[in-house]
Amino acid sequence: MKKNFTNTASNKLYCNVFGHQYKVSKSVTSHVKEYTCKCCKRQLTTNSNGNLIELTPKYREINTILEDIYVRRMSRLKTKTLSSSIY
């Protein structure tokens, strides 16, 4: 168990020295994404201004609802364009 602690501490030290290596973990919409650091597993998301902020349970819920609205809207627009292209 001590080995995991030192591994986590070394990953955090790496991020403190060289910076985080963020990777997109989830694309909520075309503008809002969730990021995760490869080393320390820190999670961030974009806020309404486009800045990166810590992914808290509040923002996780907001992103879930926003994704649901976005998916519904895109599917509705897709069916609308398909039906209008027939005529």
Give 10-68 pLDDT, tens digit per residue: 788 888 899 999 999 999 999 999 999 998 999 999 998 999 999 999 999 999 999 99
Judge whether residue 79 has pLDDT over 70: yes
Distance CA 26, CA 38 (A): 14
Which of 1, 44, 48 has its CA nearest to residue 22?
44
* Domain residue limits at 74: 2-86
Distance CA 49, CA 58 (A): 17
Judge whether residue 3 has pLDDT over 60: no
Strand 22-27 and strand 33-37: pairing?
antiparallel
Query: What separation in angstroms does the CA of 15 have from each of 2, 28, 68?
Result: 20, 25, 33
Q: What confidence score (pLDDT) does residue 84 get? A: 65
Q: What confidence score (pLDDT) does residue 85 get? A: 60
Q: In total, how many domains does the chain have?
A: 1
Q: What confidence score (pLDDT) does residue 7 get? A: 65
